[in-house]
Amino acid sequence: MAGAARKKLVGRYEVGRTIGQGAFAKVKFAVDSDTGAAVAMKVLDKATILNHRMMHQIKREISIMKIVRHPNIVRLNEVLAGQTKIYIILELITGGELFDKIARQGKLRENESRKYFQQLIDAIDYCHSKGVYHRDLKPENLLLDSHGNLKVTDFGLSTLSQNGFLHTTCGTPNYVAPEVLSKDGYDGSAADVWSCGVILYVLMAGYLPFEENDLPTLYDKITAAHFSCPDWFSSGAKSLIQRILDPNPKTRMTVEGIRADAWFKNNYVAHKRGEDENVCLDDVQAVFDNIEDKYVSEQVTHNDGGPLIMNAFEMITLSQGLDLSSLFDRQQEYVKRQTRFVSRKPARTIAATIQVVADSMGIKVHSYNYKLRLEGVSSNKMSPFAVVLEIFEVAPSLFMVDVRKVAGDTLEYHRFYKNLCSKLESIIWRPIEVSAKSALLRTTTC
């Protein structure tokens, strides 16, 4: 497509494609123009934050992420403010969510599960030493870097406490400790340990220990710790999980007890703590206290109105390695939360076809340039469901469509994506050469 690519600069960062989206923020791929380093840029709209009275929560989350500096926690580098946006510069993690690895494999091998659990306990123990309690630990909030190491993220529900005694009921129902559901307060450390135990169970089983369609029944099971371990769990793993998922927080296993457990210590290499970094929160204060005075330069250079052009670096990052076949081969056995397909049709035709298909499915469509937001209601009629589709030019006459879930149940999104693709067969390109090459690699790789 003729014309220069559309670029946006925020301070010294060149901003690229959207790689994540939530209710209050977008996450963009960006490059530090001074160093050439790739980063993740979380973009928050000031008006939205103020309208939803989220200022205190966002400031707390940013401050906590600057305080916790650990190899198994996503690193926050700095915070910038524009006239209408707040920009949080984060370490770019390219290995995806641990949830996706479980969805792909069903369950993980015991040694692999133990490695992730060891790294999780290291990270959470460090947080607790700083008076930080996460309160929303689950596989969706655990990322994997390019070396396969675990990184804890999403401190939106976390809190700082001197004594660790908390009162706010929060978290994801299937992972929440029974005492959090009461009104008597709870120990933040014990509650996080319970969530870690649920995560270990999910890693090894491929499914949840507590799962029911209605919340009252689910909470009854959690309160009674009514679960059983599959036969393939080793005796050591079963014993550890049973002692962690103790409904009594006073007798529940502690982090110190977990570290002393024989099953946990197998092949365990403890992270050596160096001297704590001197963390400066001045930039956080500047963003929130002097919000009208501290601005970074925001510049946008537009192309001819076509879709964004994705460069090679972004493609490599997106594919989580140098093998780009995963970008184009959609013959996969699983669907992740972020999915994509490729088309040789013109960008306008792709957008128009998606609009028609969405209309036929009774889904509301909002479109801007070459980005479409599809909104509907979940199958249980209880919650909103939304996805965002964005069209990118990856080569002349070759376009990639990113599809991302932004609201709703993940499993429902899996079903939606497969249904959507079945209705878009007329525009989806499936290159025979790439598929054949992928098949050959699968049969020749040990």
Residues within the annotated binding site?
Answer: 42
What pLDDT, on a 0 to 100 scale, did the predictor assign at position 150?
94
Quote the pLDDT of residue 378: 63
Say how many C-beta atoms besides its own lie within 10 A of residue 114's C-beta: 24
Is 272 within a domain?
Answer: no
Residue 290 and residue 329 in one domain: no
Pair 241, 382 in one domain: no
Per-residue pLDDT at 39 exceeds 90: yes
Residue 147 falls within a domain, yes or no?
A: yes
Q: Are 126 and 68 in contact (CB under 8 A)?
A: yes
Residue 234 binned pLDDT confidence (cut-offs 50, 70, 90): very high
Which residue has better confidence, 111 or 167? 111
Question: Does some domain include residue 267?
Answer: no
Residue 278 forms part of a structural domain: no
Active site residue 231: no
Is residue 266 in a domain?
A: no
Q: Do 135 and 237 share a structural domain?
A: yes
- Asked if 250 and 320 sit in the same domain, the reply is no
Catalytic one of 100, 122, 125, 136? 136
188 in the same domain as 135 = yes
Residues 110 and 83 in one domain: no
Which residue range is the domain that position 171 belongs to? Answer: 98-260
Domain count, the chain: 3
CA distance 368 to 347: 13
**Residue 231 neighbours by CB under 8 Å, 6+ apart:** none
CATH number at residue 72: 3.30.200.20
Per-residue model confidence as pLDDT tens digits over 399-413: 888 888 877 777 677
**Domain boundary pick from 301, 334, 369:** 301
Residue list, annotated binding site for ATP: 42
Two tokens, residue 266: 């197998």
Those residues with Cβ within 8 angstroms of residue 391's Cβ, 6 or more apart along the chain or in another chain: 307, 347, 350, 351, 370, 371, 399, 400, 401
The answer to whether residues 245 and 291 belong to one domain is no
Q: Are 212 and 343 in a shared domain?
A: no
- pLDDT tens track for 44-95: 888 877 777 777 778 888 888 888 889 999 998 888 888 888 899 999 988 8
Query: What average pLDDT does the segment 341-369 reach?
Result: 87
Coil, strand or helix at 58:
helix
pLDDT at 369: 72
**CATH number reported for the structural domain that contains residue 120 in this entry:** 1.10.510.10
Q: What is the pLDDT of residue 314?
A: 54
Beta bridge partners of 143: 97, 151
Identify whether residues 233 and 287 lie together within a single domain. Answer: no
In-domain check, residue 153: yes
**Average pLDDT score over the chain:** 79
pLDDT category at 446 given cuts 50, 70, 90 is: very low
> HEC string of 379-432?
CCCCCEEEEEEEEEEEECCEEEEEEEEEECCHHHHHHHHHHHHHHCCCCCCCCH
**Three-class DSSP category at 125:** helix
User: What tens digit of pLDDT does each residue of 404-445 get?
Assistant: 887 777 767 777 888 888 899 888 887 654 444 444 333 333
pLDDT class of 271 with cuts at 50, 70, 90: confident
Using only C-alpha atoms, what is the Rg of the chain? 23
